[in-house]
A and B are shown apart, each in its own frame.
Chain A
């Protein structure tokens, strides 16, 4: 027990040591102040204590980022799962649209900026649009492949019992493709988070963690930028532990379906 706790702290420890060394060397050789882990933690504590950053508290930035992210991700997740189920089940839809989804996947998130600004103007909607566009393809492709790779005997068993199309989609293909669905959602969520931070830097929503990072750069408040990066990492870890791990335990592991690598 104690040993495993220690073991899980080893990567964090290594990371902090490397960070400290980089900070030391940058300060020594380039003569610019590079925030050390300690300075970052102090700044983070101050920000968590209510210090404002670009006119707002850290909580406001965090909350705004999360709302945008979830809005974009939920749309992408629903669209991706529904598309993947239908396209995986119904060949003509797949052959008519698969190339499009593949091309979407190749477009880097930030390349949507001109499109987003042209269609929605600067602001919330543009950011949410970019998140949706980058989170959708991995979800769609994974779900589609998961459905196609599902053992045909499950489909036959369901047909033999008289399952109609809707039952097939939602009672057989959906749970059967669960391992692929989860890995698709994981990638989609990560993609969305990454493009969110970048989009906030450019599309300029006036709040958000990405916006704060880029603002901190102009004001040379690098410690705040680093503090925001820490918050971003923590959010990522929390999502993994509070959402995906329990979801996987309740479905894939409980049913003993193979999780694909």
Chain B
């Protein structure tokens, strides 16, 4: 069992006072190589959950385990793709991807090769010398994915990575992400508020709602890939997820 959250509660401090818990007594286990979508309205703790697994924050109560070891902080075995690509603006595309490799002390040529390989994988090889601000949102997000992949992480954590892209670019990148994931399967947690996205991508969809009961649904999607966006199966899955979401109060 790869990622395990045990009785995790999380609240934040505002002016020294505890807020209402964002997550309350949450239990969740994600096995190896599963593609999990976390679906829910905004404000119900999806990002908090991801940040806990990434190690950016620590639980107020409870424990988070990765490969049976407690998570003590962020690390390259858990690659994160942030909502706003979040590349370093002072580095070129290639240098952004090489950043982590350099830290690992990979020698110069191997570093070039690895960065080149992962940039190629996301179709960014021809832009490797561009600075991030000259790229479109989709290109930045591709680079961010290749940066996370270059870590060769055991798990990939993605926080609404395509939500700021236009519909066309989003579908395109979803397909590429699936291709990459099928090519080298690793555990993938993917946060989204889009029912269609969850139904199209995931092996398993976790529907989240506001605490105290954060997990409102846990669905396995059995349909084989490649899935067709307009198929009957897709429509049924979407309808089912939407029904689960509609029963939730709006968190905003």
Contact = CB atoms under 8 A, between A and B. Distances in A.
Interface stretch (B18-26, B38-46, B86-94, B191-199): B86-94
A163 interface: yes
A224 to B, nearest CB: 47
B89 A156 contact: no
Contact of B90 (A161, A162, A163, A176): A176
Interface residues of B, number: 24
Interface in B82-104: 82, 84, 86, 88-90, 99-100, 103-104
Contacts of B115: none
Give the dominant DSSP class at A's interface: helix
Contacts of B55: 159
A9 interface: no
Interface residues of A, number: 23
A1 B104 CA distance: 51
Contact of A159 (B73, B89, B133): B73
B204 interface: no
Give the dominant DSSP class at B's interface: loop
Contacts, number: 62
B82 A256 contact: no
Interface string A166-183: 010001100110100000
B31 to A, nearest CB: 22
A209 B76 CA distance: 57
A249 to B, nearest CB: 13
23 contacts: A151-B86, A156-B54, A156-B56, A157-B80, A159-B73, A159-B74, A160-B56, A160-B74, A160-B75, A160-B80, A161-B76, A161-B103, A162-B76, A162-B100, A162-B103, A162-B151, A172-B88, A176-B90, A251-B90, A255-B90, A255-B131, A256-B131, A257-B89
Given A160-B54, A160-B76, A254-B131, 6 more contacts: A159-B56, A161-B100, A172-B88, A175-B88, A178-B90, A256-B89
Interface of B: 54-56, 73-76, 78-80, 82, 84, 86, 88-90, 99-100, 103-104, 131, 133, 147, 151
